[in-house]
Amino acid sequence: AGGGTTEPGASGSAGASGGAAKTDATITFIPKQLNNPYTDVVLGGGKEGAKAAGFATTNVVGPLEASASSQVTFINAETQAGTNAIVIAANDPDAVCSALAEARTAGAKIVAFDSDTNPDCRDVFISQVVAKDVALIQTKLIAQQIGGKGEIAILSATANATNQNEWIKFMEEDLASNPEYKDIKLVAKVYGDDDDAKSFQEAQGLLQAHPNLKGIISPTTVGIAATARYLSTSEYKGKVALTGLGLPNEMRSFVKDGTVTEFALWDPAQLGEVSAYAAKALVDGTITGKAGDKFTAGALGERTVEDGGLVIVGPPTVFNKENIDKYDF
């Protein structure tokens, strides 16, 4: 035991004998928090992927509440159990680091998915989409919906969520640099902590504090649903635009009643699936996580590890009245 983090090189030596597929490998998923519908879809894909990729046992463990430190004991227990691959969506990029380092010292491969850890602490990060793409699609949607001008606000999840903050950063850059958006003004960023009631009241507060608000971006499934619920039950329905990242099943009624016109998301199941395949490739020694490594994610085809150990799953989909009934997640 010891040091804060291990150098990336160390993981190579601890890896299994190169190339030969392990048949008794174990994999454990540690989502941000159990009992979250989005997570559930991701994990559904993950479990199927793990089976298809050849893991002998698949486990899902995780905290009931998404606080920074709550994942650490789970990682510890997995380290002790000798799990071969840990797939984690970090609540805090750094809080889990030393625990992950210990897991790696004990021989586990670490795949971050959904929300990245500090890059030093994992082998690869499976990202839904290119972070910038996600950000741009949301600014584009909101711009369309408010007619290219007016005040907008962002309702995010927790203040520290790595993925959220990265998207928000890109959105802000985009709004500042893109001449098409010069009349759009971002007036507030608020956090609903991925809690339905809290997000609901944050949305309400936004509208009261900013009477001229034209649109809201909520890049989190809980936030967008709660905001939609508030809008649909208030006088702002149809007057204030809402977009962001949502689950079609949660958003269907709001799209149909006109509260929301368009929103985006990738296929969460694919995210889980690719993560499982990446984990298997790491355990087998097929890849080490350096840029240029390639692995096959079953039916989803070949994926390449990019700079910084990044693996991209696929482009986001935009959902609206026309296509939403085709999706079931």
Q: Which parts of this chain interact with other proteins (CB under 8 A)? A: 1-5, 34-37, 39-40, 59, 61-65, 67-69, 72-74, 76-77, 79-81, 92-98, 118, 159-160, 190-191, 195-197, 200-201, 204-206, 208-209, 211, 222, 225-226, 228-229, 232-236, 249-250, 252-254
Q: How far is the CB of 266 from other proteins (least distance, A)?
A: 19
Question: Which position has the token pair 């985006």?
Answer: 264
Q: Determine contact, residues 185/152, Cβ cutoff 8 Å.
A: yes
CB closer to other proteins out of 56 and 77: 77
Sign of CA dihedral 301, 305, 311, 316: negative
Which CB sits closer to other proteins, 44 or 314?
A: 44
Residue 134 CA to residue 315 CA, distance in Å, equals 8
Degrees (nearest 5) of the Cα angle 260, 89, 303?
85
Return d(Cα 136, Cα 149) in angstroms, integer.
16
Q: Are 231 and 259 in contact (CB under 8 A)?
A: yes
CA distance 122 to 110: 5
CB of 13 to other proteins, least distance (A): 21
Nearer residue to other proteins within complex by CB, 235 or 302 = 235
Q: Residue 126 or 225: which CB sits closer to other proteins?
A: 225
* 275 close to 113: Cβ distance less than 8 angstroms: yes
17: which residues sit within 8 A by CB, 6+ positions away?
Answer: 285
Q: In what side-by-side order are the strands of the sheet with 184-191?
A: 184-191, 150-156, 213-218, 241-244
Quote the CA–CA distance of 285 and 264 in Å, as a whole number. 35
In the complex, least distance from residue 222 CB atom to other proteins, rounded to whole angstroms:
7
227 vs 286, beta carbon nearer other proteins: 227
Residue 326: CB minimum distance to other proteins, A: 17
**Angstrom distance (rounded) from CA 127 to CA 204:** 31
Q: Nearest distance from residue 135's CB to other proteins, in Å?
A: 18
CB of 301 to other proteins, least distance (A): 29
CB of 83 to other proteins, least distance (A): 10
Indicate the residue among 56 and 81 with the shorter CB distance to other proteins. Answer: 81
Q: 99 vs 297, which CB is nearer to other proteins? A: 99
